[in-house]
Amino acid sequence: MDETDLQLCQLLLINSRVPVRDLADKLNISVQAVHKRVQNLVDNKCIYKYVTLPSEKAWPAMSVHVYGISKTKSMDDALEKLSKNDWVMGVYIGSGNIIYVAGILRNINEVDEFTEFVKKTGEITEPEVGIMPPMTGYGSLIPKPSEPPRELSPLDLRIIGSLHSDSRKSVAEIAKELNVSAKTVNRHIEKMIEDELISFTILWYPKHTGDQVTFLHLTFKSDVEKNVEIAKLMNKYSPRIAFFLPFINIPQRVVAVTWSTSMLDFEQLQKALEGEESIQSTEAHFLYRGGYFDTWRDKKLFSEIAKLDKKR
């Protein structure tokens, strides 16, 4: 992978359905080059899957990361057991026996139970719990609107189900599958986008590329406005910083997910960040294993569609 590949992945993480022409224009490369790069990323399993789900606005949910040093004798067993839970979206194992568990919960009342499950199953003595800010359909870190969203229609749900494991499927393919017109499909997708009820993203993890992915914990100084500094660092260090995991309940902590071509490349990035006036300390954990899993949201989607099918 090179920096252009990573920028392409960043765009697809935000909206995996963005047209190829728009990707080409944003990256200043040809449409043919985009096609080739995307295919290589898929072949290398850097792009694991194109995913579509109802957004957090459509179906209330919250993203929580529980992480810490594990005492387990078998990371394989821990990963297998963690993956069986309907809350768990991803498990990532890093250097120093650290385990990161990304969970999707229905509401804040489930945080304690989820944390206890991760602590016990992952054998993490002192887990850290990070609650992510709410997301819109395209992953922007902005507050949710106060007004209640409209409900997804039966056809909305079927369209999301059709796109669930391939968010780049064409409107024509969806229309044929659902036996409706392409115009109708397009109208429903556009309305869901307008109302922020649908989320298009990718499952991304470049473990087969030979590149180095690191969870770099950054602690900001007490007088720093975290969100402002995150924007500055992203502007300065992207794409070597692929994205941030900001936690609303840990004021001065953020996890930067970084990409490097080598250990030397990462060392230079870490030293540069340590030189930033706003940063008090850094702590690196190199990722070497990980996996993505369906959660209650995926199961709920197809359960709802099955109910609709029974009514036919």
Is residue 239 reached through a cis peptide bond, with omega within 30 degrees of 0 on the bond before it?
A: yes
Query: Who's near 51: CB < 8 A, 6+ residues apart?
Result: 16, 164, 165, 167, 199, 200, 201, 202, 203
Q: What percent of the chain has pLDDT over 70?
A: 95
pLDDT tens digits for range 285-297: 999 888 899 999 9
Q: Would you say 157 and 305 are in contact if contact means Cβ atoms under 8 Å apart?
A: yes
- For tokens 């993505």, name the residue: 292
Q: Which of these ranges, 99-108, 130-139, 178-187, has the smallest mean pLDDT?
A: 130-139
Write out the H or E segment, with its range, that includes residue 62.
Answer: strand 62-69
At residue 140, does pLDDT exceed 70? no
pLDDT of residue 134: 77
At residue 279, does pLDDT exceed 90? yes
Query: Domain 3-49 belongs to what topology?
Result: Arc Repressor Mutant, subunit A (1.10.10)
pLDDT of residue 289: 86
Report the candidate in 130, 135, 122 with the shortest Cα–Cα distance to residue 77. Answer: 122
- For tokens 């080409």, name the residue: 24
Query: Who's near 270: CB < 8 A, 6+ residues apart?
Result: 216, 282, 284
At residue 136, does pLDDT exceed 50? no
pLDDT of residue 240: 92
Cα(107)–Cα(250) distance, integer angstroms: 18
Q: State the chain's mean pLDDT as an integer.
A: 91
Beta bridge partners of 49: 203
pLDDT of residue 13: 92
At residue 265, does pLDDT exceed 80? yes
Tell me what the mean pLDDT of segment 255-271 comes to.
92
Dihedral sign for Cα atoms in the order 139, 140, 142, 144: negative
pLDDT tens digits for range 72-93: 999 989 999 999 999 999 999 9
